[in-house]
Amino acid sequence: MQVYRAEYALLPTGVRQNVRIHVADRQIVGVAEGPVGDASEIKIKGLALPGMANVHSHAFQRAMAGLAEWDAGGRDNFWSWREAMYRFAERLDPDSQLAIARFLYVEMLKAGYTAVGEFHYLHNQPGGSAYAPAPAMMDAIAQAANESGIALTLLPTLYMQGGVDGRPLSERQRRFGKSVDELLVMRSAMRGKPGVTQLGLALHSLRAVPSDAIRDAIAGVEATTPIHIHAAEQTGEVEETVAQLNARPVEYLLDTFGVDRRWCLVHSTHLSSGEIARLAQSGAVAGLCPNTEANLGDGIFPLESFLASNGRLAIGGDSHIGVDPAEELKAMEYSQRLALRRRNVAASAPQPHTAARLWSLAASGGAQALGLGAGAIAPGARADLVVIDTDHISLASRDGEQALDSYVFVAGKGAVRDVMVGGEWAVKNGHHWQEDAAAKDYRAAVTRILSV
């Protein structure tokens, strides 16, 4: 057993000083506050936070970040961006998938993410033919996670049709298409693979998966399986769902599929007041991706009402226009300030420091959404820690909670010093052991992709 003593630590009760964290067998087995103990304790200088989960990742999109920031006609929106993404995805193969994902996962770790939910639908070769073996692209994701050291919840994604009306997949969408049986066979093949910490299931959206297939897919997995789905990201999606299913997307999911704590509804941007309350009551997690949602012009999630209903939330990097959990939390809070013309919207009477409340909520909700026993510095949780350097210039002369505020709203990932995943240090003094090799392979892969 290792005993760490953190100068400051964010506990479920708030930021505390002089915290002993006992770690054994990849778990936290004890937490205590008090005076300095014996010399065997390993000192953690700075602020220790519970590890953060990135619950929604499309790893391949990291390589196209910044390539869709132009519009000659003044009509660019999510749907035109999607076509650009489809064109980019056609250029990828298992080797480039590995190089991109490995570099991204190293980036995530260095930024303070300790776990990732990979919402993976890039299953087939261009044109729709299966790889041999069929899960070749998922194998690349698992290898990237194994080599980087991040905890991976792999979410094989069902994608079957081109719209809620049941129209067939477009030519470019054929790379994503699998039947329920095909997907479940591929999913089973990933069980126990090195790098796969948890195995979940994703349903792309109500646009891409018919209701009967959703039922069949859920029936084909274990009762504790994390289930993720895109929901109500765009007003166009809401309108299409109402026209075809006579209900709003989140309303339909709640009414039809017994949504509960193992579900993560990604985005959930456009909710009615009734959906807000019911989603919160279900215990499901709203997987918010504030930077991507802003980049794509999706809209603003109703955070204040959702939190007032005791809703569960998590954050995701999605298209990876940014790779920084502090940046996601800042974007979440700032969108609320712009919409409501108030400050510190996410603060509460029990926790008046906005960053402390948002980090605690997102870490806990993210662990729930990925099916990981993590998300808190508490006995029984996975030993996932993020250590913030309180000597960083932007954190000078701050106490624990002020340091956390300044990390989230000022310094960002530049203040992350050390990162522990499952009791092992993946990042020390801001460096990951594989960062140079991963960057070299990523650069070579992107050069090949963009030369096509």
Token pair belonging to 187: 């999913």
Q: Which of 139, 298, 318, 418 is catalytic?
A: 318
Over its length of 452 residues, how does the chain's per-residue pLDDT go in tens digits? 999 999 999 999 999 999 999 999 999 999 999 776 677 899 999 999 999 999 999 999 999 999 889 886 788 888 888 888 888 889 999 999 999 999 999 999 999 999 999 999 999 999 999 999 999 999 999 999 999 999 999 999 999 999 999 999 999 999 999 999 999 999 999 999 999 999 999 999 999 999 999 999 999 999 999 999 999 999 999 999 999 999 999 999 999 999 999 999 999 999 999 999 999 999 999 999 999 999 999 999 999 999 999 999 999 999 999 999 999 999 999 999 999 999 999 999 999 999 999 999 999 999 999 999 999 999 999 999 999 999 999 999 999 999 999 999 999 999 999 999 999 999 999 999 999 999 999 999 999 999 97
User: In angstroms, rounded to a whole number, what is the distance separating the alpha carbons of residues 235 and 45?
Assistant: 47
pLDDT for the residue 86: 87
318 counts as catalytic: yes
pLDDT for the residue 29: 98
201: β partners: 227
Sign of torsion over alpha carbons 322, 324, 325, 327:
negative
Radius of gyration of the chain (CA): 21
Domain range 52-369, CATH architecture: Alpha-Beta Barrel (3.20)
pLDDT for the residue 80: 87
pLDDT for the residue 84: 86
Q: CB–CB of 260/284 below 8 Å? A: yes
Closest among 334, 347, 343, 292 to 315, alpha carbons compared: 292
Closest among 203, 378, 370 to 285, alpha carbons compared: 370
389 counts as catalytic: no
Q: Where in the chain is the domain with CATH 2.30.40.10?
A: 2-49+377-435
Inter-CA distances, 162 with 70, 88, 124, 142, 293, Å:
26, 18, 16, 28, 22
Inter-CA distances, 352 with 175, 312, 367, 402, 405, Å:
47, 18, 23, 11, 11
Q: By three-state DSSP, how is residue 33 classified?
A: strand
User: In angstroms, rounded to a whole number, what is the distance separating the alpha carbons of residues 273 and 415?
Assistant: 38
- The shares of helix, strand and coil residues in the chain, as percent rounded to the nearest 5, are 40, 25, 35
pLDDT for the residue 212: 98
Closest among 170, 186, 243 to 220, alpha carbons compared: 186
Token pair belonging to 237: 């999606």
pLDDT for the residue 273: 98
Q: Name the maximum alpha-carbon separation found in the chain.
A: 68
Burial of 305 (0-12, 13-18, 19+ CB in 10 A): middle
pLDDT for the residue 205: 98
Tell which phi-psi region holds residue 371, choosing left (phi > 0), alpha (psi between -120 and 50) or beta.
left
Fold of the CATH domain 2-49+377-435: Urease, subunit C; domain 1 (2.30.40)
Contacts of 50 (CB under 8 A, 6+ apart): 10, 359, 360, 363, 364, 374, 375, 376, 377, 381, 384, 385, 386
Token pair belonging to 82: 């999607």
Q: Which of 267, 270, 320, 353 is catalytic?
A: 267
Helix axes 180-189 and 211-219, enclosed angle (nearest 10): 30
pLDDT for the residue 73: 78
pLDDT for the residue 71: 84
Q: Where in the chain is the domain with CATH 3.20.20.140?
A: 52-369
Residue with tokens 């000192």: 43
Residue with tokens 């087995």: 29
